[in-house]
Amino acid sequence: MKTLRLFLFTLVLFAVTVSGQALVSSSLNGTMSASELNERMAKAFGESAPPSASTDVELHKITYTSIDVNKKKVNLTGLVAWPVGGAPKGLVVYCHGTTVDRDRSPSRFKGKGEAPETIEAITAFATGGYAVILPDYLGLGDHKAAHPYPLSVVNARSGVDMISAARAFSRQKNYPIGRELYITGYSEGGGVAMALTRSLQSYMNEEYQVTRSAPASGPYDLSGTTREFMLQETGEQTGFVLRLYLMSYATNYLNKEKGIKLNTFYRPSLANALGLNYRLNPSDEGVIKNIGLTTTLMRSKNQLSNVLQPAFLRDMKANRKSNPFVRMLHENDVYDWAPTRPMLLIYVDKDFVVSPENTEKAYRTMRARGVTDQILRKLMLPASYDHLTGIPPAMALARAYFDGGFAAVPEAR
């Protein structure tokens, strides 16, 4: 018995130590008044706006420990937004969408200026009695490595570790947060939210038990649906450049982290342009404009075969795992599993960035695994929305679902 008590004491001590060490530092970014929040919310959400805020929201940047793609300890950053006085409804993890721009990382937001997705997450949840945490991910915020895009499984770890850090931060500040835990995110963040929910399902610690999750418009089937989407030949420049932008972010990671030269994937002119662009602290608009100009000068005729290396294009079409890009997609598929906690899949009917088939395939696959409608439902936003305009209504629906479960979103099936 003495040995057993010593063993249990050691386990508890270890758990407390790990939790305490997760938080490295914190700083106050600013405070948004209730009136500011309501003004921002009305602008972002329009008719779909959640109920008005009645309390101010504090914004804190926290630094916490996690691990990188090589299993080495690193410091990551993220934003904590919580209503003054307490968050009785619990903790929401919001996983943000794709950006190459470090200045758009959630932890950089101080309550002023434009940061659409961060503002939408804060006004959707922190105004309603939730504390909200927004991890920057590896390679964004203060972490200087290449962002592992679109590696949902890898990026989910930043969410796991931020949960522990945020709980430690709340204890440090004597700030009350309810036990409940909610997971959501949009676009790339929808994939990360799905991977995070799956990862947390294996944790026994109470602080990691998910109450409800609502991944939205995520690329859950990277190796199938998303790969096929990247290969679609639209014949028009907008879709062509968009696909190359998403592809370029992934190949930039392989270039920076794995040392694979960009001319493995692209013909020399585009490889050189992308290499220069990603070395110069890029912005999303800058990368997109650069791709458009370069491919026009290459006389690409908006065809992938004119800008991609033939061997890479063949491997993509054949879905060959021997190719590092294709293998990376397979390793980060997150649709084929069976959630045990309630999950609402939100998506957009006419999504031009993340194919809605990602959600449909995840839903079909989970149903085939025996997941019932008591656990899993889906909700499609109508064709009047697109990938960009779908974020506010998706988060308003996630808020309603977190507040009241499936009964609060009767349109979900």
Note whether residue 146 is domain-resident.
Answer: yes
Q: How many domains are contained in the chain?
A: 2
Strands 212-216 and 343-348, by their bridges, are: parallel
**352 in the same domain as 215:** yes
**308 in the same domain as 387:** no
**353 in the same domain as 299:** no
Q: 271 burial class (0-12, 13-18, 19+ CB within 10 angstroms)?
A: buried
Note whether residue 129 is domain-resident.
Answer: yes
Given a cut of 90, whether residue 6 has pLDDT beyond it is: no
> What confidence score (pLDDT) does residue 20 get?
40
> What confidence score (pLDDT) does residue 346 get?
98
Tokens (6 digits) for 147: 């962002």
Note whether residue 5 is domain-resident.
Answer: no
CA distance 71 to 86: 35
Given a cut of 80, whether residue 297 has pLDDT beyond it is: yes
**182 in the same domain as 75:** yes
**Sign for the pseudo-dihedral over CA of 16, 17, 23, 25:** positive
**394 in the same domain as 298:** no
Note whether residue 107 is domain-resident.
Answer: yes
DSSP letter for each residue of 229-244? HHH---SSHHHHHHHH
> What confidence score (pLDDT) does residue 281 get?
84
Averaged pLDDT score across all residues of the chain: 94
Note whether residue 260 is domain-resident.
Answer: yes
Given a cut of 80, whether residue 69 has pLDDT beyond it is: yes
Given a cut of 80, whether residue 180 has pLDDT beyond it is: yes
CATH assignment of the domain containing 401: 3.40.50.1820
Segment 213-226 shows an average pLDDT of 98
Last residue of a domain, one of 330, 349, 368: 330
What is the four-CA torsion angle of 408, 365, 339, 78, rounded to 10 degrees?
A: -80
Note whether residue 3 is domain-resident.
Answer: no
Per-residue pLDDT band for 17 (boundaries 50, 70, 90) equals very low
Note whether residue 126 is domain-resident.
Answer: yes
- Express each pLDDT in 75-107 by its tens digit: 999 999 999 999 999 999 999 999 999 999 999
**118 in the same domain as 56:** yes
CA distance 198 to 226: 20
CA-based R_g, the chain, Å: 21
- Express each pLDDT in 19-41 by its tens digit: 445 999 999 999 999 999 999 99
Give me the domain span that covers residue 143.
14-221+333-408
- Express each pLDDT in 103-144 by its tens digit: 999 999 999 988 999 999 999 999 999 999 999 999 999 999
CA distance 47 to 280: 40
Instruction: Confirm if 303 and 233 have CB atoms less than 8 A apart.
Output: yes
